[in-house]
Amino acid sequence: MLKQWRWLMLVLTGLTLFGMILYWYLSADQSSLQASSVPNNLFVNGHEPITPIPLDLKLDVHKVALGKRLFHDPQLSSDNTISCAYCHNLTNGGMDSLPRSFGIGGKEGVINTPTVFNSGFNYRQFWDGRATSLEEHIDFPNSPIVNSCDMGARWDEIVASLDMDVDYYRDFAAIYPEGIQPSSIKDAIATFERSLITPNGKFDRYLRGDKNALDNEELIGYSLFKNLGCVTCHQGMNVGGNMYEKLGLFKNYFENRGNVQESDYGRYNVTHIEEHRYEFRVPSLRNVALTAPYFHDASASTLEEAVAIMGEYQLGVDLSDDEIAKIVKFLNTLTGLYQEDTSK
Amino acid sequence: MKMFAKRHFVKKGTWQMLLFGVAAIVLLILFFEAQPVDPNKHNALISDLRELQKRDTELGEAVLQSHYQLHHNYDGVVAIMLRIQEIFSGIAKHQEIGLLPYSPEVMHELDILRQQIEQKSVALEDFKSHDAVTKNSLLYLPLQVNILLAGLPESQHDTFELLLRDILLITLNQGELAHDSLKKHINLVDRNIPNLPESVQAFAELVSMHAMTILSNHGEVSELLEQLNSQGRDGFGTKLEQLYLKHYQVGQNNAAAFQLLLLLLAMLMLGYAIYLYYQMIEREDQLRIAATAFETQEGIIITDANSNVIKVNQAFQKITGYSSEDLLGKKPSMLKSGKHDRKFYIAMWESINSTGSWQGEIWDRRKNGEIYPKWLSITAAKDASGAVTHYVGTHTDITERKAAEAEIEKLAFYDPLTKLPNRRMLTQRLVTALASSARSSLIGSLLFVDLDNFKTLNDTLGHDVGDILLQQVAHRLTSCLRVSDAVARLGEYDTVARLGGDEFVVMLEDLSAQKFDAASKTKIVGEKILATLNQPYQLGTHEHHCSASIGATLFSDHQTSMEELMKQADIAMYQAKKAGRSTLRFFDPRMQETVDSHAALESDLRNALVQQQFQLYYQIQVDNSHHSLGAEALIRWIHPERGFVSPAQFIPLAEETGLILPIGRWVLETACAQLKAWEKNALTSHLVLAVNVSAKQFHQPDFAAQVKATVQRYDIKPNQLKLELTESMLVDSIEDTIAIMDALNKVGVQFSLDDFGTGYSSLQYLKKLPLDQLKIDQTFVRDIATDNSDKAIVKTVIAMAHGLNLDVIAEGVETEAQRQFLLDEGCMHYQGYLFGKPVPIAEFEVSLK
């Protein structure tokens, strides 16, 4: 066989092999668009207005651990003084118990910091619902990080400073192929935040079947909660957090309170539809006993106060003290347990 | 071979390589284009689109259920809406990976879909808000009314009851009527509140507020319900799905088409590959054949256009002794043997350059120096343009063939036993000899030599011995011929052949122009042969005597055919046998006779001198006054039996056999003695005696000395001795002749030129030779009376002689008229019958008186 023929054969074979490998590689590199693991029927758990939160979300422990570090890392603020935990204090019910939080340079925020616990179950983040996910809420305009009021950092700076840390570098590299990027930072923090659930509260146990979890008064409080119509808005797994509603249905709340500010416009600030003025995302009532002061403007410093205001403005009902007390008793049962996964 | 590949293949190969490369790339392209859509991705998109529609329906259901309190929280609808949005963004991903095209129609549909989803999202939010409020109010209103009515007198109940009725109607969607009625009743209530007892005023207010809430929200909620339950004009993304399916189908069709193309191309390539493969096999076969052909028994040498050797095969190396390394890069001329001249090679190359090839026999030199013949064929290999690219030479070593040819020739033409030419060769030579003889007019002879009693020998002593005898005979025969004999003039043109059995043939060529001469020479040779063959033979332990019989015949031209000659010789040979064996016989009996008599005469002649049979006769020479001048001495032979033998007969024989020398000496001596005797007599003392000298005699180295010695011995006056020379002896070596004559002139001897004008007359001779006398030949004298030519000649000769200061004497003067004429012309001396015949001495002396 002439030398030149042998060479040609080799070349052709090589090309063919190469082509096949290339094809295999390309075809293997498809992002999995398999059918989602979404359940066929999303319409479950409808018989009770409130459902218990899951015990375990099965999140990536490495991401959670990394996110936890980041959550507590003041490097994420532009002056390296404030971390997420500063306002969303995990030992304090996930918030700082202040009417308004203070950001960089001691600047006061414009709105009451909501709790970070169970925030993963809220369908929107922020009082005005401008963020549709925890990831989004990290870098939304006026978000904690980017808002000069709060954390005021810029992504480049953050990435740069995280890059210099050997441990961050290593951990990010281990989990995220893209390394230290805003997307991966957000993903880690959000994953951690999602892990901040408080299952196994009294009421959850009751919902799961433990009939003895609630005492009489608490039960009465629950039925009051239902019958008075509180439950119409504060429903779902997170006892709220899944709809908008106007504050001041039967009376003009803001007129009565006075000193109306931009932060009071709520949903209107996002949609600019008049109808949506004074509408807020209904907050979750889980762990509400721990998260005073209440309402976006922190106008109620006790739960009793809050319940009274709600009854007056939202239900048009003048609640008796006894009713309030019972309801408050019930609300206390919504406090759950945060169990950090220390198995890492 | 490498040199071929480098230049030519690269050119062709690049072209083909390029073609193959292009084909490979096209194949790859087709392969990728021919990929059908991944079924997984396709199914994923389809299922997403389907799910979208399903979730849309689900949303409507969920909303209704929420509204009708079949579902007690909004998590469900929120989840469904989220899922719908998820699916939609997923569809964008499908677009990203190319599954869904970026066509305007698709983009338009996606836009529509996005709007639809957004609208539904907004509607959902609104629904939730309004529905919650309405729900609460609907729930609370009756309770409040109950409490209110409990504190009111019955008369004031109707408004509130009517209110409740309106509420019911509204909830049952009874349209405008209920709507207006409710409004009226709410107004009524409002106006009436101050009239109510204070304890219930608050409740009434609440009732009014709730009713108002219901009134204002319910319509909207219904609208929202409808909105959230509608599937749009074409359902959620149905159009999109259709567009996609169409695109998908087209894509699949394309893929199928490309697959087909791919298959086609692949088939073509396969076909081509197979074709090439078979071509390659064929070429390999041809190469193999060529290689086999190359390694044949013939030596093959290939050179480039400049005659530099590039390849030689095994056979070539074997034949020439040179290895491949020795020859590579050199020129074939290193094999030259030197046997051929430049012209040979020039002609060879001319043939190659003009016709493209040459064939022929050529002698080359092997490495070991040995020269060998080979049959060489050179061809010029040309390329497409006609320019010579290579020379290819094939040769076979024909040494063996030539040797075989020689062997065949030998076998064909030579007798294996005796190595003598055989009959065939003899025949050939005979034919040639006949032709040659005809041309040269020289006579040749054929002798058949037959061994006597050979058969007997064969029978008694056996064939082996007979063979040995034959070989020895052959050897002796050839030895006869090899010895050059002054008498038997034989040489290279003679042939000894063996006809077969015990018959041998000897062919003698170019013997003589004269028949008799040729015959006598033949006889001589024949007798020599007989003598040689008669010697005893040593055959192993036997000594054997063997004689032969020889038959001879002469040939001179084509008058007798070759077969005829052979027959004649054969017959003559039988004659010889009949005559008693061990003898030679000529075919022609007359010839035989002649030969015999000649032989007899010869032997007699030999004796003659001893036997004193010679005598000198004298013929007088006179002048014009009849005075005697002298005489010419003429030799006479008187044989007891033969009687007078004419000098014409025996002189030539004497000359031939060499006997002329002693005879001539005798003549000279006798003449001198006679002169001495005459000295005493006054009558004879003045006589000059002329003696004939033969050429042979004259050209003897010691002739002059001899004459001188004789003259001195007899003490005669030299000037009385006249030697007569003939013209014929002057032909050769004129210088010698002059020298001898000069020498004798010094002695005083006279010279006369005899027979002037009859032979090779040259006036130069007259000029050069120191002659004294000129003799006019009798042939001129005879007819001077009548023939004018003779007259003229004689006249001239006389005049010339006088002019050259030579004496002149006329021979054969027989008539007075002749004498008279001669006298008239000035010739004073005469010899002839008129004056006297040649007579013995006694008679002569008498005649003087």
Query: A95 is written with which tokens?
Result: 């918030």
Look up the pTM and report it: 0.54
Is 60 exceeded by the pLDDT of residue A154? yes
Query: Nearest by CB to A42, which of B28, B58, B133?
Result: B58
pLDDT score at B185: 83
**B66-94: pLDDT as tens digits:** 888 777 788 888 989 998 888 888 887 77
Of the candidates B430, B438, B545, B553, the one whose C-alpha atom is nearest the C-alpha of residue B497 is B430
Q: How many Å apart are CA B157 and CA B200, to the nearest integer?
A: 13
Chain position carrying tokens 């001899």: B706
SS3 label, residue B308: coil
Q: Which residues contact A85 (CB under 8 A, 6 or more apart)?
A: A71, A72
Is 80 exceeded by the pLDDT of residue A137? yes
Q: How many Å apart are CA A144 and CA A147, to the nearest integer?
A: 5
pLDDT score at B489: 42
From the CB of residue B47, how many other CB atoms can be counted at a distance below 10 Å? 16
Query: B491 is written with which tokens?
Result: 């040489």
> In terms of CA atoms, which chain B residue is nearest residue A237?
B75
Residues in B touching A275 (Cβ below 8 Å): 126
B-interface mutation test, from A5, A43, A223, A244, most B Cβ less than 10 A away: A43
Helix H or strand E encompassing A305: helix A303-310
Q: How many Å apart are CA B791 and CA B780, to the nearest integer?
A: 8
Range in A5-14, A107-116, A136-145, B505-514 the model is least confident about? A136-145
Residues in A touching B31 (Cβ below 8 Å): 19, 23
Angle at B205 between CA B200 and CA B208, to 5 degrees: 125
Chain position carrying tokens 């010679």: B614
Half-sphere exposure of B141 (CA within 13 A, CB side): 25
Q: Which residue has the higher pLDDT, B293 or A313?
A: A313
Say yes or no for a CB contact (<8 Å) between B72 and A48. yes
Q: Which residues contact B532 (CB under 8 A, 6 or more apart)?
A: B476, B477, B479, B480
pLDDT score at A33: 46
From the CB of residue B57, how many other CB atoms can be counted at a distance below 10 Å? 15
Identify the segments of chain B with pLDDT beneath 70.
Answer: 1-13, 174-175, 231-234, 482-493, 760-761
Burial class (CB in 10 A: 0-12, 13-18, 19+), B585: buried
**Chain B closest CA to A259's CA: distance in Å?**
25
Say yes or no for a CB contact (<8 Å) between B209 and A250. yes
Range in A59-73, A96-110, B178-192 the model is least confident about? A96-110
Say yes or no for a CB contact (<8 Å) between B72 and A249. no
3-state secondary structure string across B718-744: HHHEEEEEEHHHHCCCHHHHHHHHHHH
Query: A32 is written with which tokens?
Result: 């999995």
Say yes or no for a CB contact (<8 Å) between A23 and B35. yes
Query: Nearest by CB to A229, which of B27, B58, B139?
Result: B139
Angle at A66 between CA A61 and CA A71, to 5 degrees: 120
Q: How many Å apart are CA B445 and CA B816, to the nearest integer?
A: 51
Say yes or no for a CB contact (<8 Å) between A244 and B128. yes
Give the torsion through C-alpha atoms of B575, B579, B584, B587, to 10 deg. -30
Say yes or no for a CB contact (<8 Å) between B75 and A38. no
pLDDT score at B104: 86
User: In terms of residues, how long is chain A?
Assistant: 344
Q: Which residues on adjacent β-strands are paired with residue B542?
A: B539
Residues in A touching B95 (Cβ below 8 Å): none
Residues in A touching B70 (Cβ below 8 Å): 46
Q: Cα-flanking dihedrals φ and ψ of residue B300, to 5°?
A: -120, 135
Is 90 exceeded by the pLDDT of residue A110? no
pLDDT score at A2: 62
Query: B709 is written with which tokens?
Result: 């010695």
Q: Which residues on adjacent β-strands are paired with residue A131?
A: A125
pLDDT-derived band at A39 (thresholds 50, 70, 90) equals low
Say yes or no for a CB contact (<8 Å) between A232 and B136. yes
Angle at B386 between CA B380 and CA B387, to 5 degrees: 65
Q: Which residues on adjacent β-strands are paired with residue B694?
A: none
pLDDT score at A333: 92
Q: Which residues contact B17 (CB under 8 A, 6 or more apart)?
A: A8
User: In terms of residues, how long is chain B?
Assistant: 849
Say yes or no for a CB contact (<8 Å) between A34 and B40. yes
Query: Nearest by CB to B44, which of A11, A34, A271?
Result: A34
SS3 label, residue A2: coil
pLDDT score at A245: 92
Q: What is the mean pLDDT of chain A?
A: 84
Query: B447 is written with which tokens?
Result: 């002798």
From the CB of residue B408, how many other CB atoms can be counted at a distance below 10 Å? 10
> In terms of CA atoms, which chain B residue is nearest residue A249?
B133
The DSSP string of B410-449 is HHHHB-TTT--B-HHHHHHHHHHHHHHHHHHT-EEEEEEE
**A160-203: pLDDT as tens digits:** 888 888 888 899 999 999 888 888 888 999 999 999 999 889 99
Is 60 exceeded by the pLDDT of residue A36? no
A-interface mutation test, from B18, B74, B144, most A Cβ less than 10 A away: B74
Q: What is the DSSP letter of B35?
A: P
Range in A31-45, A88-102, B509-523 the model is least confident about? A31-45
Tell me what ipTM this predicted complex has.
Answer: 0.85
SS3 label, residue B796: helix
Query: Given phi > 0 = left and psi -120 to 50 = alpha, else beta, which region is A258?
Result: left
